[in-house]
Structure formats: C-alpha cells, structure tokens
Amino acid sequence: MNETIKNILSHRSIRRFKDEPIPQETIETLVQCAQAASTSSYQQVYSIIGVEEQSLKDKLAELAGDQSYVAQNGYFFVFCLDYHRHQLMAEMTGGNVDATVQSKEGFMVGMIDVALASQNLAVAAESLGLGIVYIGGIRNNLREVSELLRCPDHVVPLFGMAVGFPDASPGLKPRLPQEAVFHKNQYKDDEKALPVLKEFEMKTAEYYKERTGGARDEGWATQMARTMAQPKRTYMKEFIESKGLDKQ
Amino acid sequence: MNETIKNILSHRSIRRFKDEPIPQETIETLVQCAQAASTSSYQQVYSIIGVEEQSLKDKLAELAGDQSYVAQNGYFFVFCLDYHRHQLMAEMTGGNVDATVQSKEGFMVGMIDVALASQNLAVAAESLGLGIVYIGGIRNNLREVSELLRCPDHVVPLFGMAVGFPDASPGLKPRLPQEAVFHKNQYKDDEKALPVLKEFEMKTAEYYKERTGGARDEGWATQMARTMAQPKRTYMKEFIESKGLDKQ
C-alpha cells in the first residue's frame, strides 16, 4: 500500500482546527490540484472561492447552521458550479450556450465537475497532514450564501470545505460493507444485499454504543430512516431554476 | 511536493490500455478508497458496478458512442447514484424516505457523493501507475445502460471509468488559469476575469495548433461556444424523474 492510498484510507472529517492559517503557497497548490481533476469535455464548470475575511467566515458559519469550524479553521473554500464563464465567453465569440447551460444534463455535468475538483483538493490537503471537512450546511441558506459571495446567475455554491491543522483525532467511521455497494457486472438482487445490510445495521449500532457510552445505539438503517424522514432544503428546485440552471 | 500531489498534478486521461487485467485485490483496494471519501450525512448514496463480462463491456462501448477504450481496458467501473438501498432500509425499519429521495436536494447530495467516491478511486488508481478515463458517454443512452446493468428505481448510472495499464502517454492538457477559477472572498467582477480568459484563449489556440500540426487552432472559448451550442442528452430530465428522483 503506497502513501497516497494510506492517506485516502485514513480519511476522517476534522471539525476542530488549530488557530494556525495555511500558507498562501499551500492554498495555491491545493487549488492547482483541484484543477487537475478530470472535467467533462474540457468544460471546467467550477469556481472556487477562498473565503479569508473573518467577517465573511463568521456570517457563513451562521448561515450553515452555527457550525463553529466554518469560522475557525486554517482556510475556508466554497466550491461553486459555474457556467457564468461560459456565458461570458459565448458572448465574446458570438455564440449561444443557453440551452446547454439550462439543461438537466448541463447541471449534472457541473455537479460532477465541481465534486471531482473538490475531492482532489481534499486528498491533496490530507496528504500534507491537514484535516478537512465538507460543509453541506451552506445549502441551508443558499440564496443568502450566494448573495454574500456575490455569485452571479449561473453560479451556485454547492458546498464548503474547512481545511486546517487538525486539533482532534476522531476514529474512522465504518462504511457500508464493500459487498453492499460493489456489484459485479449487474446490480445485485435485494436477497443478496439484505443480509449484508442487516449485518451492517448491527455493526453500526455497536459502533455508536461504544462511542457514546451506551447513550445511542442506532444502526445505519435506523439513522437513515430517521434523518431522511423529512425532506431538507425544499426551496432548492426553485432556487436552482432562479439561477438559470436545470430548467429543462 | 509529496508523491500524492505529484500524482494528482500529473493526471491526464488515458484512452489506450495494455491488454492486461487488473488483479482483483487491486480492484478491492480501489473500491475501498472510493468508500473512504466523505459522504453527506453518512448517507453513502452510491453503488459501483464492476463490469467484467466482455459482452457487457462491448455493449456499453457501443452505447457510449463506440468508444473502444470502454471495451478494451484493465477494468471498467460504472458509478451510480443509489437511493434504492435507503428505500429498502426504510421498508425494513418501517420508515418512509420518499420525500427526501425524490427531492432536488437529495439528487444533488447523491451526485456529489458519487463523484467524491469516484475521484478517490481515480487518484488511488493513478498512484499505482494505472491510467484512467471518465466516461460521460454512458449518458448518451442511459435508459439502455440502466437496463443492461439491471439498475432498479432510484439507481442512476452517472458515468463510467475505464482503468488499466497505460499504453499511451499524452501530454498534460492546460487548465484555466488559477486566477480565472479562484476568487478571494467574493466572486470576482467580469472586468477582472476577462483579460485572463482572453489570454487563455490564445494559449489554448496555440496548444491545439502545436498538437495538430496547424490543423486546428481553436481556443478554449471558441471550442466551448461550438460544443455547447446544442444541448446534449435532452431526454435526461424525463429519465431522471422516471427513476423516481429529482422531482420536487
């Protein structure tokens, strides 16, 4: 097992950082790593906002649901789906890319492009001994986040990422068994999947029981059924369309 | 610069592989790396299908637009957004996750989860000296791909990835300048972005001119305006909704 794979397999989200900024040179390297990721048809449908001003970070932390590590970290990135650049370039060259930008397929391409770039950045950061945590919480109030960061039409902040020198050392969180998520040739039948998932239910119940000293013993399936019972961020469809995306 | 970062920065898509399969043990490690990625609220909204049967790979290559490297490689993965598992678990525990699964936010979470996992796999593969190429082309005929791989409701194949021992050594493809995609604190004004993008237009025109011996000298913006003039895969919205996803 090489260093890269060791590094990938030891990922855990870090939610407490030392009060120590990350050098600008490192930030540049991390963004360079993000940009090195594959991108659909060379489109590069992303922008990355490096939020450095403490007042902006504080405001983001509040909008993300009072998550302290959004304000207190070595650096804070916001990853955006971005077709504004393509609109600008189409204008410049006398073209029209509206139908692509507004399409479901275009939206999917953008989502994927952004996430590939961000994960490169995450792996690169962790290889340098930094810790990271993805912040989906910025989608709690995306209209406000988008205004705060002055994102124009066709630009949607998808998630944040806090990066920094770790000041915590949480254990690895167990993942679904490989058998449950990995299928050979074709998607496997439920009869094959169910025993594996039931075993995982017991394993995760045990995991939480140990970590909480018995206060919590909810398995993965029970947790999912509970946390997914109510849909989240139900304004999202309207908001995304208001940005001129994912309309047809 | 450490090995991981060197590896990430030297990424290029490989489209010709040696006729040499990847050992199953390596495949297991790669899938393990995929699963180690961050996942929104522990949901793990993905399945990975390892397509090993040559007849299936041939059929996929055809559906992806006759791309030979989909059929000829060391291994072929298909990455799927997967809420079927959550539906199954909700049934088991007497819960109901329909509204979450059907939501725009749920769809976005799934897209991001899948892409984070796939990029971990890509980086891990490249760290082992393997080459990779993402295959968005499977979305050319997603209904047929989904049937071929027997994906149930709430499971959508998003993209494929061919992996293998490289039999080609293409150059690095220039990315947008960091200034163009990286913003400090807030999204930058067009006046600041435009000169950078114009410079990139000349640089990429030069890049293509050199690579094609003068046959092609289209810059990035011109290429985008041309390839994005017509929307692609316009059936996508209907298809995704037919899978029970992204409806509200």
Same domain? For A93 and A185 the reply is: no
> pLDDT category, B205, cuts 50, 70, 90?
very high
pLDDT at A8: 98
Same domain? For B97 and B188 the reply is: no
d(CA A70, CA A66): 8
Q: Please report, rounded to a whole number, the percentage of residues in chain B having pLDDT higher than 90.
A: 97
Report, as an integer, the average pLDDT of B218-244: 97
Report, as an integer, the average pLDDT of B176-201: 96
Per-residue pLDDT tens digits for B15-74: 999 999 999 999 999 999 999 999 999 999 999 999 999 999 999 999 999 999 999 999
d(CA A21, CA A57): 14
User: Residue B185 pLDDT > 90, yes or no?
Assistant: yes
Per-residue pLDDT tens digits for A70-84: 999 999 999 999 999
The answer to whether residues B74 and B130 touch, using CB atoms and an 8 Å cutoff, is yes
pLDDT at B106: 98
User: Residue A68 pLDDT > 90, yes or no?
Assistant: yes
The answer to whether residues B239 and B143 touch, using CB atoms and an 8 Å cutoff, is yes
- Alpha helix stretches (DSSP H) within B128-235: 142-148, 178-181, 190-211, 220-227
Nearest CA distance, A107 vs chain B (angstrom): 10
Residue A28: list chain B partners with CB under 8 A.
178
* Chain B touched by A115 (CB under 8 Å): yes
Nearest alpha-carbon partner for B135 in B71, B81, B83 = B71
Same domain? For A78 and A164 the reply is: yes
Per-residue pLDDT tens digits for B24-35: 999 999 999 999
Range of the domain at A150: 3-170+230-242
Per-residue pLDDT tens digits for A197-220: 999 999 999 999 988 999 999 999
Q: For A133, which residue in chain B has the nearest alpha carbon?
A: B38
For β-strands A75-82 and A46-51, DSSP reports them as: antiparallel
pLDDT at B211: 87
- Provide the domain count of chain B: 2
Same domain? For B165 and B182 the reply is: no
* Chain B touched by A243 (CB under 8 Å): no
Domain presence at residue B55: yes
Contacts of A241 (CB under 8 A, 6+ apart): A247
Same domain? For B50 and B67 the reply is: yes
Cα torsion A37, A157, B156, B128 to 10°: value is: 20
* Chain A touched by B196 (CB under 8 Å): no
Interface test with A, best of B114, B183, B245 (most A CBs within 10 A): B183
Per-residue pLDDT tens digits for A77-123: 999 999 999 999 999 899 999 999 999 999 999 999 999 999 999 99
Nearest alpha-carbon partner for B101 in B84, B89, B118, B115 = B84
Element (DSSP H or E) covering residue A76: strand A75-82
pLDDT at A211: 87
The reply to whether residue A221 touches residue B119, judged by beta carbons under 8 angstroms, is no
CATH number of the domain at B124, please. Answer: 3.40.109.10
- Alpha helix stretches (DSSP H) within A16-141: 24-35, 54-63, 68-71, 84-93, 98-101, 104-127
Report, as an integer, the average pLDDT of B160-186: 96
Mean pLDDT (chain B) is: 97
Same domain? For A182 and A165 the reply is: no
Location of structure tokens 């961000």: A118
Report, as an integer, the average pLDDT of B91-105: 96
* Chain B touched by A214 (CB under 8 Å): no
Residue B196: list chain A partners with CB under 8 A.
none
Report, as an integer, the average pLDDT of A138-143: 98
The answer to whether residues A60 and A51 touch, using CB atoms and an 8 Å cutoff, is yes
Domain presence at residue B224: no
Domain presence at residue B225: no
Please state the φ and ψ torsions of residue B81, each to the nearest 5 degrees: -70, 130
Same domain? For A82 and A150 the reply is: yes
Element (DSSP H or E) covering residue A155: strand A155-164
Mean pLDDT (chain A) is: 97
Nearest alpha-carbon partner for A182 in B43, B181, B30 = B30
d(CA A16, CA A132): 10
Instruction: Look at chain B and count its residues.
Output: 248
Nearest alpha-carbon partner for A36 in B120, B5, B8 = B8
pLDDT at B204: 95
Same domain? For A102 and A185 the reply is: no
User: Residue B147 pLDDT > 90, yes or no?
Assistant: yes
